[in-house]
DNA sequence: ATATTTTTTTAAGCTTACTTAAATTAAAAA
DNA sequence: TTTTTAATTTAAGTAAGCTTAAAAAAATAT
């Protein structure tokens, strides 16, 4: 399909996509504007333009919603982003906190042709290094419904880490030094609900995480 | 050093760099404009802007010349371009005629950090798949003075292919099917100067090339 | 040397992607 | 319900990177 959009509009579309999925965040202009570091006025303006191009559905004072072709575009960019992250990590050895930054740029100037080559080289991977699903070339994406953040877990159950969300060094350094990787097994010992903390046991060690970390570690039941 | 320039200005700077080296081509606005597919007016305008940023030296009605910092910028982009070409060819298996097209895009959104990672992965390669030198991280570049196009070669001498210039499929298909690669040995049998043709012998086969191809195959004495 | 052609430059205008400031509408609080 | 606050939209303006058209300068031909 190959994107024709500019970098600015690609990032705009991408942000709407993420906010439509991510709970808690609305897709009104101000919300998108804040994320992208532009003014509300600029976001409204962009909304009007993308609406003309039929990439979003937009009525004044309403939330923004991707159209079918807008969603296809978002998934095409997301595919490139996650293929690059996987490639940069697995092949070039970039750290978890470095891959997002670089993929964020490369995704915009990557042809469908090149994306396919990267995909082939990696053996058609299902997920990126964070555990996020890589959209397929046909614009489908497999959602992992059974995955949820650590601080929502019930106590005394065995889980597997399914996803590590984010891009800051501190978080991934913590995960690394405590052997928390995508695929790691762990046990949830206790939920300190009032203090928003979770005690887990991983690789023989007990750790107490506050929700700053625990809401970015996604897990699923380990069967 | 990390470029701050836009894609348009990076391509402009790059073109001046190539034209300053490449014999026959001048660096006046019209020449650059033609190469980039923009109008003379746009080229003059860009010249004025880049001159303000001290990236080129420019006086009205004169040829454009890169400043020291403009040249550093050009070499930084060229480094990324040639590292990508090498990587795409050697690692992802893209064909000779495909790598330029992709590198032409990626070079603009590649951080110095990532360029270094690619360089390390490839083992600090001296040349790209065309045989062109890859600029060093410090902005130096080793010029191969002894290399020249096939149609300038003296007869009955043994040569080595040092460079294959261009990006069209037809040329590289021809080279491939006749075993003409960077590093191939060949003999020049005869120069048909009037008809601008060169007869060579490579891998046991005799070939007659017209200057469309022979001026893009660079050779050097095989010692 | 003069006339013609070509190139370069300037000027005015367009689109994209922003900005700030003011006006409008919607949402929340009193 | 009315007032206040917050978000959204419109309006006007900017910079980049182009365009076409006209003017100016340089190069070429006669």
Looking at chain A, how many residues does it have?
A: 223
Which residues on B lie below 8 Å from A91 (Cβ)?
A: 91, 121
How many whole angstroms separate alpha carbon A32 and alpha carbon A38?
8
Q: What integer is the mean pLDDT of B152-170? A: 92
Spatial contact of B143 and B133, defined as CB atoms under 8 Å apart: yes
Bridge partners for B45 per DSSP: none
Task: Determine, for residues A102 and B93 on separate chains, whether the beta-carbon distance falls below 8 Å.
Answer: no
Rounded to two decimals, what is the model's pTM?
0.93
Backbone phi, psi, residue B160, to 5°: -120, 140
Alpha-carbon gap: B98 to the closest alpha carbon of chain A (Å) = 10
- Given a contact cutoff of 8 angstroms between Cβ atoms, the answer to whether A165 and A218 are in contact is yes
- Write down all domains in chain B, each with its CATH number in brackets: 4-66 (1.10.10.10), 148-221 (2.30.30.90)
Of the candidates A98, A108, A114, which has its C-beta nearest B102's C-beta?
Answer: A114
**pLDDT for residue B1:** 65
Sign of CA dihedral A120, A121, A124, A128: negative
CA distance B201 to B189: 7
Structure confidence by residue, pLDDT tens digits, A129-148: 999 999 999 999 999 888 99
Q: Give per-residue pLDDT as tens, A28-78.
A: 999 999 999 999 999 999 999 999 999 999 999 999 999 999 999 999 999
Supply the angle between the helices B7-21 and B40-52 in degrees, to the nearest 10. 100
Distance B34 CA to D24 C1' (A): 22
Rounded Cα distance, B212 and B215, in Å: 6
Alpha-helical (H) ranges within B53-195 are: 68-90, 96-106, 112-122, 169-177
């Amino acid at each position: 399909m190959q994107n024709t959009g500019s970098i600015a509009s690609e990032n705009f579309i991408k942000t709407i996509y993420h906010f439509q999925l991510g709970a808690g965040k609305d897709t009104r202009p101000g919300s998108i504007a804040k994320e992208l570091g532009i003014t509300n006025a600029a976001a409204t303006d962009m909304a009007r333009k993308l609406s003309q191009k039929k990439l979003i559905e937009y009525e004044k004072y309403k939330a923004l919603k991707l159209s079918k072709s807008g969603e296809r575009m978002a998934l095409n960019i997301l595919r490139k982003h996650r293929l690059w992250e996987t490639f940069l990590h697995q092949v070039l050895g970039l750290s978890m906190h470095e891959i997002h930054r670089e993929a964020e740029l490369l995704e915009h100037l990557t042809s469908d042709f090149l994306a396919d080559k990267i995909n082939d080289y990696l053996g058609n991977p299902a997920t990126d290094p964070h555990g996020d699903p890589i959209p397929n070339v046909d614009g489908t994406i497999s959602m992992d419904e059974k995955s949820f953040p650590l601080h929502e877990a019930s106590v005394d159950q065995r889980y597997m880490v399914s996803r590590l969300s984010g891009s800051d060094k501190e978080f991934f350094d913590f995960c690394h030094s405590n052997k928390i990787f995508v695929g790691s097994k762990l046990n949830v010992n206790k939920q300190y609900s009032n203090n928003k903390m979770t005690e887990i046991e991983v690789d023989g060690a007990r750790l107490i995480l506050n929700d700053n970390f625990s809401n970015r570690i996604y897990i699923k039941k380990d069967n």
